[in-house]
Structure 1
């Protein structure tokens, strides 16, 4: 949502906050961000002026001699992001059509002093992003259109990540109304039991109220039937009781909107706690009646026991894993298309590792076969995001060292058990290191040689040697761990 100038300013501010020192050199910042000194100096001055606009008493972060004191920062990264986004045309446009009655492109251009061509140009990256979810922006009547369920989740992702709860961006909905609605349905949502999760729910409730008050409704989907029909856990009377007689919805819309709230409780892998009541309810409800979601997840878990977790099959019995896979499968079964995903927006693209690829290949093989079956043909259209979602749930439980190339480490210490036992114990506990006494003839095989002497390096200058003083302390163990972890990651990244 930020244009290139705004994004550069944000990245520079973010870097200043990360360094957190009283004397950061502008030259250093310019080199890190590939800018020239003059550009960086101008942007830092703009940031300094912005800080006073956010907090009128904010002290200057600029020093003489081209230095910055980031320890004086009082504005958080979330507050500064929101400050910048409020000047961003795409973000302004979303807030506008959510908060104003009868929104139109002409009215928007008048209010924000922009031309239609500027709006069209600056919306392009966001248009491209939402298109993957079959959503599109309309301008005659300013709106985001498509499956209303996906619209609301996309709006939530945008507004939550844009504010992170630091501001209330909903002019047309009172915070108390949203909090009350969120509270009345909180038992269905694991989010409600965590600090930020409760705030996220309030944002969802606000978007719900914004859209229904503008007469944008969600329809009931018959694919919910096996879960929600004649199930007393899902209280379809609750919504109108909460809204009250004046705002109560007609029966048709009340059913559709209630079902959407219950769908939202399952649309992501929310479960993180073993004793979560909503997790037990999910496991019970999905297993209580015959349905393709439960059957497919159970078939996958049987497959995973043999093909993924052969040495630790008990992992597939974990209630958290089963519950999260059910949620993912339910969402794709219902929608049959890619769906807005908070994780996808915030995670940096990472180089694929060998363990990741092995896991993904095995999940892919299962769904390739299933998609050939008549009742599971819908998998074809959503196979790629479905495989990635399953992988994201299973990866933390997948024993990476077991499925990765271990580091080969030689240990060159004085021959004394009392001196070497602790270092061997440390290396063995890591789980991804194979260590043994150093042998010169194996030099080509070593990823690292840990030595209490620099003699091996004198003889073999190319040897990857880590000097280890025998009188080491715990801090040095931490440094060694960092080095080994980085080598392990590097060894297991798949090269393009």
Structure 2
């Protein structure tokens, strides 16, 4: 998990990774060699890390001190859950202790923190480097003169919420200055009529607890644009301990609704339908962005695929949510998936990534889309994740369709082998109907070909490296013309 890499030191990461493997095994016993193979560490590194792991687990389960040595190599001996061990490691990490200090302290100073934890400034800066990089993804940074997190308050709250949710995961209430009973009552009032499961209820309680903690330390939200998402007319209950004006209460309620409507989900819930129809009726900027995206793909994809995508309300709603998050925060806003290892990377879907780059180039002159252009790099990553169910179809239909009219033999074998290695080409089958080729490659004299609107590329029987080089540049030119 990316969050663990940001908060834990290398030795703690090794222990945590080892424990995850250990807890996932079904075999009754294991050896140090088993752990070594699973973690990729040397035998000596594994042995040392396992001994350190035992020290931690004995703190969590004191009865381990009385267990015989042989029993320590039995999986059933370890009763601590993975979540519990993660929480133990993170709570004892300097990076998290610093976050927790900033969250709860009304007048934090770097000197006081370093003195309390007996660390030098150089050690402190080294140990929070991963955390700094995580915050920077969302335009956030630490200010050390007046110790604080600087940046968009909505993004600060979301980052802190996801950190605390993923670390504590319902194991205990982490917000020391906020009454849990009051938050439970507040959440129950706000979720009237919603069908939430236990997990969703806990998440909302953590979000509300985070917001209350930030308010208590005088970190308030800035007003946001209207009509980005529905605002049901439910009075927003505020605990008596929070002194807010009516305008500030309305802004807090807006943030709660922002969280409700803009987190990606992959099930067709009533909330998904409600947000989809709201954007459709408003014809707001998020809706216009999605129409621009589908219009771009319609230039290189079949009408059937575009119709299928348009009919997929879950897909369209997730695209609308992404665009709305950008509008609300005026920059990339975090979602839960950002804090775990990504399912796909741009390199794994090079063609789709390039198509998305070309899409943003196509809207560069549209002033209405300026906010999306500014955040295009982060949006491209998010779009890759959202479009994953359609990635193979989009990439296949976004490629060049090549028709070969060449002698069957070594020449055709070498050329076909080359073309199949390229991510931007698809070879049409002989006599394939319904698809107009983007390029015809032939060894025939062009005067012998039947009339065609497709460009023709003459291929020599004695092709050399230069022939392939010239062909590649021709293919690249046609591909850019097709996808721009």
TM-score, L = length of structure 2: 0.73
8 A Cα contact 1:23 1:69, kept in partner: yes
Change (3 A) 1:398 1:316: farther
1:54 is displaced (CA, Å) by 1.2
Q: Which of 323, 328, 343 matches 2:322? A: 328
8 A Cα contact 2:105 2:217, kept in partner: no
Q: Which residue of 1 aligns with 2:428?
A: none
1:216 is displaced (CA, Å) by 0.5
Q: Secondary structure at the match of 2:227?
A: helix
1:196 is displaced (CA, Å) by 2.3
Is 1:204 aligned to residue 207 of structure 2? yes
Change (3 A) 1:194 1:211: same
8 A Cα contact 1:219 1:257, kept in partner: no
Q: Which residue of 1 aligns with 2:46?
A: 40
8 A Cα contact 1:100 1:172, kept in partner: no
Question: Partners in 2 of 1:52 and 1:26 — Cα distance?
Answer: 19
8 A Cα contact 1:300 1:366, kept in partner: yes
Question: Partners in 2 of 1:306 and 1:194 — Cα distance?
Answer: 42
Change (3 A) 1:359 1:197: farther
Q: Which residue of 1 aligns with 2:28?
A: 22
Change (3 A) 1:244 1:67: closer
Q: How many residues align?
A: 393
Q: Secondary structure at the match of 2:108?
A: coil
Q: Which residue of 1 aligns with 2:364?
A: 371
8 A Cα contact 1:178 1:202, kept in partner: yes
Deviation string 1:422-477 (CA, Å, 9 cap, x unpaired) is xxxxxxxxxxxxxxxxxxxx9x99xxxxxxxxxxxxxxxxxxxxxxxxxxxxxxxx
Q: Secondary structure at the match of 1:172?
A: coil
Superposition RMSD on alpha carbons, in Å? 3.1
Q: Which residue of 1 aligns with 2:290?
A: 297
Deviation string 1:372-427 (CA, Å, 9 cap, x unpaired) is 212222222211221222232222245569949xxxxxxxxxxxxxxxxxxxxxxx
Q: Which of 322, 335, 339 matches 1:345? A: 339
Change (3 A) 1:140 1:33: same
Is 1:68 aligned to residue 73 of structure 2? yes
Change (3 A) 1:304 1:266: farther
1:285 is displaced (CA, Å) by 2.0
Question: Partners in 2 of 1:323 and 1:187 — Cα distance?
Answer: 23
1:12 is displaced (CA, Å) by 1.7
Deviates more, 1:246-255 or 1:343-352: 343-352
Unaligned runs of 5+ in 2: 1-6, 398-412, 418-484
Q: Which of 389, 394, 398 matches 1:396? A: 389
Q: Which residue of 2 aligns with 1:172?
A: 177
Change (3 A) 1:79 1:175: same
Change (3 A) 1:311 1:357: farther
8 A Cα contact 1:308 1:362, kept in partner: no
Is 1:108 aligned to residue 113 of structure 2? yes
Unaligned runs of 5+ in 1: 405-441, 446-496
1:139 is displaced (CA, Å) by 3.7
Equivalent positions of 1:63-462 (< 5 A) are: 63-64=69-70, 68-186=73-191, 193-221=196-224, 224-227=225-228, 233-235=231-233, 238-239=235-236, 242-243=237-238, 247-270=242-265, 272-274=266-268, 276-305=269-298, 307-308=300-301, 310-312=303-305, 313-348=307-342, 350=344, 356-398=349-391, 403=396
Is 1:8 aligned to residue 14 of structure 2? yes
Higher relative contact order (CA 8 A, sep 6+): 2
1:58 is displaced (CA, Å) by 4.5
Q: Secondary structure at the match of 2:142?
A: strand
Question: Partners in 2 of 1:341 and 1:244 — Cα distance?
Answer: 27
Deviation string 1:213-256 (CA, Å, 9 cap, x unpaired) is 111100112xx32346xx7x433x722xx125553511232232
Q: Secondary structure at the match of 2:219?
A: coil
Deviates more, 1:254-263 or 1:147-156: 254-263
Question: Partners in 2 of 1:132 and 1:361 — Cα distance?
Answer: 22
